[in-house]
Structure 1
Amino acid sequence: MLEGGLLGWATAALVRLDDEVPGILSRALTAAPARRQAIFASLAAHAVKAGVFDAGDDLFPVSFAEVVRHGRVTDILRTAFGDVPEGYPGLLERIGERPLDRPQDYLAIHQMLARNDVRAADALRGSGRITRRKLEVLSALDPRWHHASTVERIDTGAEAITFNAAVEFVQSVCSRATDEAVAQAIGQMRPTSTLPRLLDRFVRRADRLPPHPVPAGDNELRPLTTMRDHLEAARKYRNCLASKVGHVAAGRIAIAEFRGECLLEFRPLTHSGGWMFWLCHGPRNSLVPISTLNAAAAKCDVLGIPRQDEDTGGAGWRSYRRITQELEWD
């Protein structure tokens, strides 16, 4: 049972109307979804205007009660709202048998149609049963991304705001991620597709990567400066670098290949203090021979790229780092 009675917040209002015109409560309980939701929407309009249902004995005029009892769907809605936007009865029918959680939700749908928000209306029509959750997601979601595919896959308004920010990041690193391209990709999503995969596809085509700490043109140490470089290196070394392209695009890590034998990972220092040589990764994240590791570190020294103080902790610390380096790849 819903909070407030059998029909939630609408129960008390229906009972009062039934006192004026007997049969209204029965009519609401047995009506088809379209008519029932029209009644709920009308009650919601009066509730929001009056503030509370028990504001007085004259809250609902007799004429309104008669229309609710005997009128058609459009008559009921017109009595409460005046103008009934095209498509409003159809969207109400998609709510189902129960009323929405709040009276304001009905007004939100009415206002959406009244301002001719075609994208939002189409998103609701294509996303199955209309719920308060979907309305909250739609309200928080950037209008550019209004689509049934996003409304169905995002659970809360907070997640919608996060998605907005994620798309903004993707667009900042990938020139191909235009509004039109992102909207088209959303519209072409398959049932098994996910929003994270959609964004990842754009990030893998990023062409606005941060400056690399290793200068180009060196015969020993080759900086990976494009997404193609990173994806090819991931295949060559058979590691998880392909899953780190987002970190690369965000400037959280940088990768360079040393002598075609291993990958060097660099991480940024705080307060824009440049970069640090962090780890060395062999094929399949295997250990790199000491001679190669020392040569790579010496190369970084020549380039003026600092590294972790290997003297701290002594030989035991260095051995520990060599054994656990593959765990630190994350």
Structure 2
Amino acid sequence: MSALVARKVFRPRSFAGWPLEIAIELDLACPGFLASAFYASPVRRQAIFLTLAVLARDGLEKLALRLDYASSTSSERHHRVLQRHIACTLMTTKRAREIIRGVCGAVPDGLVGVLHRIGDDPLRDPDLYSRLIETFSDPRHRMRRDVLCQHGGAITATQIEIIHRLDPVLVHANVLKRLHSRSQADSANSALALIRGTVSSATDEAIRQSIEDLGPKTDLGTLISRWLEKVDRPPVCLPIPDNDPDLLVMRSGDAMASLGRRFRNCSASRIVFLAQGAEILLEWRHPPGLVAQCHRLTNGGWVLTEIYARSNGYVDPAAAAALRRKLEGLGIPALSPGAYPRTSGVLSLLGAWGGVGRNLGFDETEDDLDVLEQEIAETEHAA
């Protein structure tokens, strides 16, 4: 007794975008092609879209020759004849695998499965099909191919773009599922460059292992932050020697974290700016102790932008003035408080909170400053 195998019949599904214009031209040369494409299964439609992308890239004659167009009569090489041959071949070749074999010369492992997971609609850019062919044909892209094949669920154009943009070290399923745009992929590459340039222990093997070990609830931002906590070679530094008696410069992630614990503030959250070479924190060694925040200028110089006390409390004006004078003597000026006195007091009355450079302790009195400088001098003399 023979069993009848039911063949699934698909409802017609139209498509738009770049392949529609090409498909209409083929339908004019071979009526019925467009309807055939509308009724095709999802994976066969994708094989047709891949063929149309190759046609757009390579032209009619090259594609027709791949699809066994054997005529050598030049008069028959009219574009309508070539279009008819391509359209008829696609209409009569029922299996997606055979269409791909005709276009590519072989069927790369995994390509048919990925095309099936793209679904009914064409990828937004025909070049993405060329990238897929390259990814699955070129052994150099084996990791990218494997990650696409391992990715669960549907495959989108964005994921194909992401996997091609990522640095090889970041080509991993744990990264792909955490990125959602080309811009994020570029940012991830930049973060990797930042880690490589500022963390001496960040070998490619160590970074890949940390990606492999990512927990399901850990995002990429957390992974990047963990690496930047190990910064030990920032790209720039303040012109202050290690043995300066008044100032201690934070030159590593460990130093920043220690500063945050001692002053009970968020210094550790500023490590990324140290790694970028945009900002450096330093400690005023004399009681009651202060933290100075310096920003780099585009000319390579530095400017003092903020001064903080322990637990972000009250900044003693006299201590702040001594710190500012010390830095100014080293070529690091402070932001100006403006042309009128008691800047902080006026802003508080107005309820104008925030603003860069507000907390620089400019409300000191000359007497307080003279007393503090005398105490510092006496301490250094005693030492």
Do the structures match in fold with TM over 0.5? yes
Residue in structure 1 matching 2:270, options 244, 252, 276: 244
Check 1:31–1:310 CA distance in 2 against 1; reply closer, same or farther (3 A cut).
closer
| Structure 1 stretches lacking a partner, 5+ long | none
Is residue 2:344 matched to residue 1:328?
no
Q: Which residue of 2 aligns with 1:45?
A: 54
1:272 is paired with a residue whose SS is: coil
Deviations 1:150-179, CA, capped at 9 Å, x for gaps: 444444444433432332122111112222
Deviation at 1:245, TM superposition (A): 0.9
Check 1:101–1:279 CA distance in 2 against 1; reply closer, same or farther (3 A cut).
closer
Check 1:245–1:58 CA distance in 2 against 1; reply closer, same or farther (3 A cut).
same
Q: Which residue of 2 aligns with 1:201?
A: 226
Code of the residue aligned with 1:83 in structure 2: it is A
Check 1:165–1:311 CA distance in 2 against 1; reply closer, same or farther (3 A cut).
closer
| Structure 2 stretches lacking a partner, 5+ long | 1-12, 64-77, 359-383
Residue in structure 1 matching 2:92, options 69, 87, 93: 69
Deviation at 1:64, TM superposition (A): 5.9
1:132-211 equivalent positions in 2, closer than 5 A? 132-209=157-234, 210-211=236-237
Deviations 1:123-162, CA, capped at 9 Å, x for gaps: 3224442232233333333333223344444444444334
Is residue 2:300 matched to residue 1:272?
yes
In 2, Cα distance between the equivalents of 1:322 and 1:176? Answer: 46
Q: Are 1:67 and 1:75, in contact at CA under 8 Å, matched by a contact in 2?
A: no
Deviation at 1:329, TM superposition (A): 7.5
Deviation at 1:31, TM superposition (A): 4.1
Q: Which residue of 2 aligns with 1:130?
A: 155
1:194-233 equivalent positions in 2, closer than 5 A? 194-209=219-234, 210-218=236-244, 220-233=246-259
Q: Which residue of 2 aligns with 1:34?
A: 43
In 1, Cα distance between the equivalents of 2:93 and 2:298? Answer: 71
Residue in structure 2 matching 1:292, options 289, 314, 319: 319
1:166 is paired with a residue whose SS is: helix
Deviations 1:181-234, CA, capped at 9 Å, x for gaps: 233333433443333332222111011033344433455533333321211222
Check 1:183–1:315 CA distance in 2 against 1; reply closer, same or farther (3 A cut).
same
In 2, Cα distance between the equivalents of 1:329 and 1:125? Answer: 52
In 2, Cα distance between the equivalents of 1:325 and 1:218? Answer: 34
Deviation at 1:89, TM superposition (A): 0.9
Identity of aligned residues (%): 25
Deviation at 1:67, TM superposition (A): 5.4
Q: Which residue of 1 aligns with 2:112?
A: 89
Check 1:42–1:208 CA distance in 2 against 1; reply closer, same or farther (3 A cut).
same
Q: Are 1:267 and 1:276, in contact at CA under 8 Å, matched by a contact in 2?
A: yes
Q: Are 1:37 and 1:93, in contact at CA under 8 Å, matched by a contact in 2?
A: yes
The number of residues matched between the two structures is: 322
2:342 is paired with a residue whose SS is: helix
Deviation at 1:311, TM superposition (A): 8.7
Code of the residue aligned with 1:7 in structure 2: it is F
Q: Which residue of 1 aligns with 2:81?
A: 58
Check 1:79–1:197 CA distance in 2 against 1; reply closer, same or farther (3 A cut).
same
Code of the residue aligned with 2:248 in structure 1: it is R
Instruction: Give the TM-score normalised by the residue count of structure 2.
Output: 0.70
In 2, Cα distance between the equivalents of 1:205 and 1:63? Answer: 58
In 2, Cα distance between the equivalents of 1:50 and 1:315? Answer: 75
Code of the residue aligned with 1:205 in structure 2: it is K
Is residue 2:291 matched to residue 1:263?
yes
Instruction: Give the TM-score normalised by the residue count of structure 1.
Output: 0.79
Check 1:309–1:103 CA distance in 2 against 1; reply closer, same or farther (3 A cut).
closer
2:259 is paired with a residue whose SS is: helix
2:281 is paired with a residue whose SS is: strand
In 2, Cα distance between the equivalents of 1:147 and 1:329? Answer: 43
In 1, Cα distance between the equivalents of 2:223 and 2:241? Answer: 32
Check 1:107–1:268 CA distance in 2 against 1; reply closer, same or farther (3 A cut).
closer
